[in-house]
Amino acid sequence: MSISLSSLILLPIWINMAQIQQGGPDEKEKTTALKDLLSRIDLDELMKKDEPPLDFPDTLEGFEYAFNEKGQLRHIKTGEPFVFNYREDLHRWNQKRYEALGEIITKYVYELLEKDCNLKKISIPVDATESEPKSFIFMSEDALTNPQKLMVLIHGSGVVRAGQWARRLIINEDLDSGTQIPFIKRAVAEGYGVIVLNPNENYIEVEKPKIHVQSSSDSSDEPAEKRERKDKVSKETKKRRDFYEKYRNPQREKEMMQLYIRENGSPEEHAIYVWDHFIAQAAAENVFFVAHSYGGLAFVELMIQREADVKNKVTAVALTDSVHNVWHQEAGKTIREWMRETP
């Protein structure tokens, strides 16, 4: 007799089995019954997950979505807005699908920054070798040469990247609501140079190398019988571990490791790096910042680290829904006074 997957609601009993085993005869009898029940579960059926493959398109067209003339994301065939719960009761799969779409939108916004806003993609660190991890920012042609005005945009934390304020707004509302594009276009129209920071692009991900462990029995002087027993135990242990991993993560994803970008390993580091290598070198007499959410915290840290230079160049700062805290960040009295007085 095998037990269907629907019967797996009983599996939480496993958690309490150790406690039951410590009890008296009645508890032990219950334990025996539970073990018998669990032994009759069809493990092959257990492995059958309803979750579809985590294999998603890599283009908007593949998702059957496109941005219309109003900048709204709509289904190509139905005209409907994006639906998160595409598959009922499959939250993990829906979330992975949403994240895959988000990555495509990030690249789409990058293209808009270059094509519609005429910004240039600048690689950092500026002296990076061919093989080391790199990030990038976006700049207008006159960002460093405009003698009058320079606008610097810093987004918040999370999955957003250069040119975005909020991915959720891009997907659920429109491009004007969720991106920095309206700010950039107006700044350019009013004669500003523009620099768009990319403070969340702090590392690249690469697949972890597989470590091959040579069996100790290969070069052992142990008796053959003892080696066979050890090998059998090792195989059983591996079998149980593989079973657990497959149950816990039926669609095993690649194990990744993060390689941080030199001098840009955090939003704060990134803001200081861009200041030192670009903004501080700009010809503009007046520098203006728009810093959203965590971008405000990054700006305050920049102030702390480069106080005199920032005071000398920055004319005004717009902190939109900023999460900075001058007390927590230990900003000095002169910085707090400057921030109160600066428009």
Residue 293 annotated among the catalytic residues of the structure: yes
CB 48 within 8 A of CB 5: yes
Closest to 294 (Cα-Cα) out of 138, 165, 152: 165
Distance of alpha carbon 41 from alpha carbon 125, whole angstroms: 56
> Of these residues, 2, 123, 266, 293, which one is catalytic?
293
Closest to 137 (Cα-Cα) out of 112, 120, 157, 160: 120
Closest to 75 (Cα-Cα) out of 63, 86, 85, 84: 63
User: Helices 294-305 and 333-341, interaxial angle, to 10°?
Assistant: 120
Q: At CB < 8 A and 24+ separation, what contacts does 321-327 make?
A: 321/156, 321/292, 321/293, 321/296, 322/291, 322/292, 322/293, 322/295, 322/296, 322/297, 323/156, 323/293, 323/294, 323/296, 323/297, 324/296, 324/297, 324/299, 324/300, 325/297, 326/300
Q: Looking at the annotation, which residues are catalytic?
A: 293
